[in-house]
């Protein structure tokens, strides 16, 4: 049987076919759909862990028990899991273990475009890079077999274009691999200085063996073409090279670390000019050059953003390999469509009020980061998961007061890595205001449960975490719950807490308007409409930035365009009605 | 078919672009071709720009279409048609839903919805097909049928049997809406026949 699968769906299918036992993750674009699809195979235990570090540790524990396991995360998630990632190198992966790193060249949905192949080199792990969906599935099997054979964790490095592109995949049967059981061996599993000194030389030996494997494996294959031009390439870049230079000789690296240096040397001797086409950093190019093998790469292909067939083609034109046959057509300048809060989103009222109060807002990673964009423009710093609280504390300490500083963080992000920051703020008496925008879901990645929602990925009932109790248990004395649809109440509570000398926590209590999908019906109230006779065209309602509100064709006496509400989109949250100065926004009976 | 076919589907988050491209991809697979499609999810869902590249033929490498290399563009919205028209081949065809979706940001200084997008497109390319799908969908009693109507229009510019299209549509649309969707497909397909 064959079907059209995305790279992420194919990885999940690979988990099934290659006998995986345990899969874990924290959601993060572009990796999220891997676990969302693994859950369709009940043979595999899977979970959304509270963060990538815990996810890593759970999957690591499973492979210590002799199971085949996998942990998936977006590229920046590996920064969170870097501690176990590095130390595991000394231990190995007795049952077989895959780390999926889903990088995001072009930053479609991320704060940076770090190239995680460097992490594989850093820890001395093999790095496998599928170039389409079929390989995404096949490489799960390859990675697990390399992992078991060499007792080493393997990085399966994906990119957004591989994760989210779809292609034809052939299906196979599930293979069975019994869980081998934990074999007590403290010198291996207990990382102490004394043990580390014994294990480190073994990892050096292991890397030499992997190097040899890399020379021999078909994962790194030469496709013979013309002798004039040779191209070394990996991941999705391979597809672009095949597209624009079908006759060239190609060394396709399915395993980009450790590099098959001797194979590369032989390949370089077969061709007249050698190019390296790789996305992001010159990871392969630098290592090849360090071996004294002449090649060109980043001279013609940028290390910024995604490659594309256009970019790869223009690089070959610049290098004199291709003739310029046509001018690349340029697009028209068309109005942008920045993502905005959904109708009924509980974050809208929060950021509207924070702007009004002129708060210094240290914000965090999630849908609510969109509060930074105009017209709400409320959000002064955003760095990484959980940073809002630590950064707020640091600003308060440097300034001498936490008054007016508001750290905003979502529920999922708070449980991911905000709790320790809050603990710190309470102990430090930082005096900032922490707002937990609790919409009871991980929304930005498409509505995943987290350990606080009361449901698990496998559909079992979990523990619903009461955030008020949790914050009090951490030592917060001032904890208040507010309704983010009620602007006056929000303003009153937030302005009081911003003036307080003590650290306070304000928790908003409306659920996400989009996820889980049942919410869409639950939250729907009678829609509002704008009485065009009363509307003066002041456009204050547009400042709440709701997709349901737009300008109409009708104009006021002063020639200002009036506004209308799309009743199909409106959820009846009433925020716009509260900002209308002439009470022109009315709820339908 | 000697060369791969490149179809670009564009619109705004929530319009059904991704389901449409999913259907085209499966139609191509069922017709015996290799097929790939590519789009980026994430931030784009929330009212943002959505584009989906579909390519099929004997063997497809790149999941992305080069600029100026799309055989057909299907645009769910007029400004989006203008944004992506430079992906069309000189002799390609652009199918445009006669529909305007103004982003809320247009109320802010410095942002405005393009004037006369269709005229500007016609200045750039020759084969422009404008269809008022909302009107047809309204007549059929469900505004969500726009994407299936557009697929109907698209199908008349492609060399794959109607039978394959309707089979795939039946398999992929939400349960209970199969007949309505097939009707919408036929309406779209008849636009160019008339």
pLDDT digits (tens, 9 = 90+) for A65-87: 999 999 999 999 999 999 999 99
Tokens of residue B122, six digits: 């016609």
Return the residue of A nearest to B78 by Cα.
A334
pLDDT tens track for A90-141: 999 999 999 999 999 999 999 999 999 999 999 999 999 999 999 999 999 9
For chain A, what is the domain count? 4
CA–CA separation, A487 and A580 (whole Å): 12
Contact A329 B68 (CB under 8 A): yes
Q: How far is CA B100 from CA A479, A549, A581, B111, B134, in A?
A: 46, 15, 29, 15, 11
CA–CA separation, A435 and A470 (whole Å): 14
Instruction: Using CB atoms, pick whichever of B35, B86, B113 lies closest to residue A4.
Output: B35
Query: What pLDDT score was predicted for residue A263?
Result: 98
In a domain, A338, yes or no: no
Q: Percentage of chain A surpassing pLDDT 90?
A: 94
Contact A336 B103 (CB under 8 A): yes
In a domain, A76, yes or no: yes
Asked if the model's pLDDT at residue B45 lies above 70, the reply is no
CA–CA separation, A464 and A554 (whole Å): 49
Chain A residues whose CB is inside 8 A of the B64 CB are 161, 240, 308-309
Chain A residues whose CB is inside 8 A of the B42 CB are 29-30, 108-109, 444-445
CB proximity list for B155: less than 8 A, separation 6 or greater: B162, B165, B185, B188, B189
Q: Percentage of chain B surpassing pLDDT 70?
A: 95
Q: Tell me, yes or no, whether A549 and A426 share the same domain.
A: no
Interface test with B, best of A327, A337, A552 (most B CBs within 10 A): A337
Contact A514, A379 (CB under 8 A): no
Contact A139, A254 (CB under 8 A): yes
Q: Tell me, yes or no, whether A90 and A210 share the same domain.
A: yes
By CB atoms closer than 10 A (0-12, 13-18, 19+), residue A332 is: middle
pLDDT tens track for A479-538: 999 999 999 999 999 999 999 999 999 999 999 999 999 998 999 999 999 999 999 999
Asked if the model's pLDDT at residue A416 lies above 80, the reply is yes
- Tell me if the bond preceding A258 is cis, omega within 30° of 0: yes
Contact B35, B52 (CB under 8 A): no
What is the pLDDT of chain A when averaged over all its residues?
A: 96
In a domain, A334, yes or no: no
Contact B140, B190 (CB under 8 A): no
Query: What pLDDT score was predicted for residue B194?
Result: 56
Tokens of residue B187, six digits: 């309406």
Q: Residue A226: which CATH number?
A: 3.40.50.920
A273-277 β-sheet, strand order: A220-223, A248-253, A226-234, A273-277
Query: What pLDDT score was predicted for residue B130?
Result: 97
Query: What pLDDT score was predicted for residue A221?
Result: 98
pLDDT tens track for A426-481: 988 899 999 999 999 999 999 999 988 989 999 988 888 999 999 999 999 999 99
Contact A85, A123 (CB under 8 A): yes
Contact A339 B67 (CB under 8 A): no
Contact B104 A160 (CB under 8 A): no
Alpha helices in B46-177 (DSSP H): 78-84, 117-124, 133-140, 146-155, 162-172
A524/B108: higher pLDDT: A524
Tokens of residue B108, six digits: 């802010």
CA–CA separation, A30 and B28 (whole Å): 26
Count of CB pairs separated by less than 8 Å, A with B: 150
Query: What pLDDT score was predicted for residue A295?
Result: 98
Contact A313 B85 (CB under 8 A): no
Placement of tokens 């085949």 in the chain: A68
pLDDT tens track for B5-44: 999 999 998 888 999 999 999 999 999 999 999 987 655 5
In a domain, A168, yes or no: yes
In a domain, A533, yes or no: yes
By CB atoms closer than 10 A (0-12, 13-18, 19+), residue A173 is: exposed
Chain B residues whose CB is inside 8 A of the A551 CB are 102, 106-107
Interface test with B, best of A8, A33, A334, A369 (most B CBs within 10 A): A334
Chain A residues whose CB is inside 8 A of the B45 CB are 339, 446
Indicate the CATH number of B5-101+115-193 among 3.40.640.10, 3.40.50.1820, 3.40.920.10, 3.30.420.40: 3.40.920.10
Query: What pLDDT score was predicted for residue B57?
Result: 97
CA–CA separation, A159 and A162 (whole Å): 5
pLDDT tens track for A255-299: 999 999 999 999 999 999 999 999 999 999 999 999 999 999 999
Contact A547, B47 (CB under 8 A): yes
Contact B46 A546 (CB under 8 A): no
CB proximity list for B170: less than 8 A, separation 6 or greater: B178, B181, B182
Asked if the model's pLDDT at residue A36 lies above 60, the reply is yes
CA–CA separation, B43 and B53 (whole Å): 18
Q: Tell me, yes or no, whether A167 and A38 share the same domain.
A: yes
Query: What pLDDT score was predicted for residue B107?
Result: 82
Q: Residue A455: which CATH number?
A: 3.40.50.970
Asked if the model's pLDDT at residue A331 lies above 70, the reply is yes
In a domain, A70, yes or no: yes
Q: Tell me, yes or no, whether A445 and A537 share the same domain.
A: no
Q: Tell me, yes or no, whether A175 and A198 share the same domain.
A: yes
Instruction: Using CB atoms, pick whichever of B22, B34, B45 lies closest to residue A168.
Output: B34
Return the residue of A nearest to B45 by Cα.
A339
Q: Tell me, yes or no, whether A390 and A516 share the same domain.
A: yes
Over the range A220-251, which residues count as b (16 or more CB within 10 Å of their CB) and which as e?
bebeebeeebbbbbbbbbbbbbbbbbeebbbb
By CB atoms closer than 10 A (0-12, 13-18, 19+), residue A140 is: buried
Q: If you average pLDDT over residues B165-188, what whole number do you get?
A: 96
CA–CA separation, A304 and A245 (whole Å): 22
Domain assignments of chain B as residue spans, ordered by start = 5-101+115-193
Q: Tell me, yes or no, whether A27 and A165 share the same domain.
A: yes
Chain B residues whose CB is inside 8 A of the A107 CB are none
CA–CA separation, A285 and A424 (whole Å): 44
Q: Which of A343, A337, A214 lies closest to A287, judged by CA? A: A214
Q: What is the ipTM of this complex?
A: 0.95
Tokens of residue A138, six digits: 């096949």
Which residue range is the domain that position A477 belongs to? Answer: 347-520
Instruction: Give the phi and the psi of residue A346 in degrees, each rounded to 5.
Output: -70, -15
């Amino acid at each position: 049987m064959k079907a059209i699968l995305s790279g992420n769906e194919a990885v999940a299918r690979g988990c099934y076919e290659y006998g995986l036992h345990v899969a874990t993750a924290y959601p993060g674009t572009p990796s999220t759909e891997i676990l969302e699809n693994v859950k369709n195979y009940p043979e595999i235990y899977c979970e959304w862990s509270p963060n990538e570090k815990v996810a890593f540790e759970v999957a690591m524990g499973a492979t210590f028990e002799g199971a085949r396991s996998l942990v998936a995360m977006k590229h920046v998630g590996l920064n969170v899991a870097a501690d176990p990632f590095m130390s595991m190198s000394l231990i190995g992966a007795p049952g077989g273990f895959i780390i999926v790193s889903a990088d995001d060249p072009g930053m479609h949905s991320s704060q940076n475009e770090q190239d995680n192949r460097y992490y594989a080199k850093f820890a001395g792990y093999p790095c496998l890079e599928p170039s389409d969906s079929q390989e995404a599935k096949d490489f799960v099997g390859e990675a697990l077999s390399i992992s078991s054979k060499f007792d080493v964790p393997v990085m399966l490095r994906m990119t957004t274009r591989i994760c989210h592109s779809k292609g034809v995949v052939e299906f196979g049967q599930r293979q069975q691999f019994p869980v081998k059981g934990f074999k007590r061996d403290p010198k291996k599993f207990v990382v102490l200085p004394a043990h580390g000194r014994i294990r480190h030389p073994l990892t050096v030996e292991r890397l030499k063996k992997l190097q040899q494997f890399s020379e021999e494996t078909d994962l790194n294959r030469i496709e013979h073409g013309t002798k004039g031009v040779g191209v070394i390439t990996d991941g999705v870049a391979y597809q672009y090279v095949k597209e624009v230079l079908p006759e060239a000789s190609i060394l396709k690296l399915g395993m980009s670390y450790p590099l098959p240096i001797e194979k590369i040397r032989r390949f370089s001797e077969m061709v007249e000019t050698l190019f390296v086409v790789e996305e992001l950093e010159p990871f392969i190019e630098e290592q090849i050059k360090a071996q004294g093998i002449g090649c060109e790469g980043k001279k013609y292909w940028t290390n910024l953003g995604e490659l594309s067939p256009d970019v790869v083609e223009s690089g070959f034109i610049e290098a004199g390999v291709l003739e310029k046959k046509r001018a690349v057509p340029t697009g028209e300048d068309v109005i942008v469509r920045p993502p905005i809060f959904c109708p009924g989103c509980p974050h809208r009222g929060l950021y509207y009020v924070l702007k009004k109060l002129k708060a210094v807002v240290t914000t965090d990673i999630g849908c609510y980061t969109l509060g930074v964009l105009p017209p709400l423009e409320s959000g002064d710093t955003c760095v990484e998961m959980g940073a809002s609280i630590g950064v707020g504390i640091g600003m308060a300490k440097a300034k001498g007061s936490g008054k007016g500083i508001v750290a905003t963080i979502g529920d999922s992000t708070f449980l991911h890595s905000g709790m320790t920051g809050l603990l710190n703020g309470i102990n430090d008496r930082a005096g900032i205001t922490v707002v937990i925008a609790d919409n009871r879901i991980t929304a930005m990645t498409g509505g995943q449960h987290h350990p606080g929602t009361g449901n698990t990925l496998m559909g079992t009932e979990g523990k619903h975490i009461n955030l008020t109790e949790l914050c009090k248990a951490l030592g917060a004395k001032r904890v208040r719950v507010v309704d983010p649809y009620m602007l006056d109440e929000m303003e009153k509570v937030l302005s009081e807490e911003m003036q307080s000398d003590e650290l306070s926590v304000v928790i908003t209590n409306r659920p996400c308007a989009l996820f889980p999908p049942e919410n869409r019906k639950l939250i729907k109230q009678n829609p509002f409409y704008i009485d065009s006779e009363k509307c003066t065209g002041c456009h204050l309602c547009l400042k709440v930035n709701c997709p349901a509100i737009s300008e109409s064709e009708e104009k006021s006496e002063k020639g200002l365009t009036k506004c209308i509400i799309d009743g199909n989109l409106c959820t009846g949250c009433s925020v716009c009605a509260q900002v209308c100065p002439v009470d022109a926004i009315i709820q339908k009976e | 078919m000697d060369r791969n076919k490149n179809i670009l589907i564009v619109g705004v988050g929530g319009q059904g672009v991704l389901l449409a491209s999913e259907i085209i991809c499966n139609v191509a697979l069922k017709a015996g071709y290799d097929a790939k499609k590519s789009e980026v999810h994430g931030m784009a869902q929330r009212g943002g720009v959505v584009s989906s590249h579909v390519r099929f033929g004997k063997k497809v490498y790149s999941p992305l279409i080069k600029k100026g290399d799309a055989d057909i563009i299907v645009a769910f919205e007029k400004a989006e048609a203008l944004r992506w028209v430079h992906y069309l081949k000189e002799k390609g065809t652009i199918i445009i839903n006669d529909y305007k979706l103004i982003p809320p940001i247009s109320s802010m200084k410095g942002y405005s919805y393009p004037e006369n997008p269709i005229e500007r497109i016609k200045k750039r390319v020759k084969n422009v097909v404008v269809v008022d799908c909302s009107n047809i969908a309204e007549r059929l009693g469900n505004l969500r049928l726009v994407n299936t109507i557009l697929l109907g229009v698209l199908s008349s510019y492609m060399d794959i049997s109607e039978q394959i299209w309707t089979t795939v549509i039946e398999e992929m649309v939400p349960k209970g809406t199969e007949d309505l969707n097939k009707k919408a497909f036929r309406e779209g397909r008849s636009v160019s026949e008339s």
